[in-house]
Amino acid sequence: MDLKELNQIRETALAEASGAADAAALEAVRIKYLGRNGLLPEVMAQLKEVPNEKKPAFGKGANQLKQELGALIKERQGELASGTKKGEAFDSSLPGQWPALGSEHPISKVTARITEIFQTLGFTVADGPDVETVWNNFDALNTPADHPSRDEQDTFYLENGDLLRCHTSPVQVRYMEAHKPPVRIIAPGRCYRRDTPDATHSANFHQVEGLYVAENVSMADLKGTLSYFAKQFLGEDVKIRFRPHFFPFTEPSFEVDFFFEVGGKSRWIEILGAGMVDPEVFKKVGYDPDKVTGFAFGMGIERLAMIMYGIKDIRMLYENDVRFLSQF
Ligand code: DAH
């Protein structure tokens, strides 16, 4: 007999001991290997036949097997007697545990709903990076060099001169630079501003941008599109109104309010910024303002979610407290 055979015996013996289904089967395994006339005493008896130089290794192997198997059988005896496996206490009368299920975040929900509505009008979803160039975020959007939003106190600048976009409007620029008109996109995404966090401000928030450019796009198209959106989003009874405003990238520009019921009473609530794309923007992205016109709009998702769900503090949207999130 040699070490290889000894190893084979070891493997079978350990497998049989592990696999014994009850105490009687285990006892049979014990007798088969460790009993007085068992295999292991026989192996020991053969030690004298083993060539001298191999004796120490063989003897050591045989002894180890005896101890290993003895320990395993003892452990299995305990397990079979108690009905539990080592390291595991199992009470089959306990009720099962459900894994805690997450829920869709209100910001994702609102974004998905807005996207869905504009998709039914043929808008496709466009995307842009959070880190933007000054050109895409400001210059190409006709933002004057001294506009306050460019200030370092309002916008996060990176060391290389790029910035964290302060609105989703740069996606308009990217998209127009890469595609010929007509374009009809919405662009949901994250934005950043150096605001001190409080109940209504967060340095990181979300917007959805919209852009439609083609021949003969008019204010009537803008109004029709936003009315349709308002009704789909909030119901047939909603009304909308345009208030003149200023944005560098649209002319004319508006703030758009929706009239709808929140918390039991109907009122006008400012929902988005919009306007007709300024010809200067078309020139910067290489479109001919004599050939195309367009409208654009942008809205804040957190604001909408807070109004719709009656959330009083924007920070709750970022704390990821499941007790809060599971309500939506
Ligand atoms: N970018 C504006 C903001 O962050 C929102 C906006 C207003 C986007 C008018 C537009 C627009 O596309 O036409 O406040």
pLDDT (tens digit per residue) in 171-219: 999 999 999 999 999 999 999 999 999 999 999 999 999 999 999 999 9
Q: What percent of the chain has pLDDT over 70?
A: 98
List CB contacts of 12: < 8 A, sequence separation 6 or more. Answer: none
222 lines ligand 1 (CB under 6 A): no
Tell which phi-psi region holds residue 265, choosing left (phi > 0), alpha (psi between -120 and 50) or beta. beta
Q: Which residue has the tokens 């008019």?
A: 218
212 lines ligand 1 (CB under 6 A): no
170 lines ligand 1 (CB under 6 A): no
List CB contacts of 191: < 8 A, sequence separation 6 or more. Answer: 164, 165, 166, 167, 168, 204, 205, 206, 207
Distance 167 CA to ligand 1 centre (A): 7
pLDDT at 318: 94
Atom of ligand 1 lying closest to residue 249 CA? 13
Distance 221 CA to ligand 1 centre (A): 17
209 lines ligand 1 (CB under 6 A): yes
Name the residue among 297, 209, 188 with its Cα closest to residue 253.
297
pLDDT at 101: 80
Contact status, residue 122 vs residue 184, Cβ threshold 8 Å: yes
Distance 142 CA to ligand 1 centre (A): 12
More confident residue, 290 or 39: 290
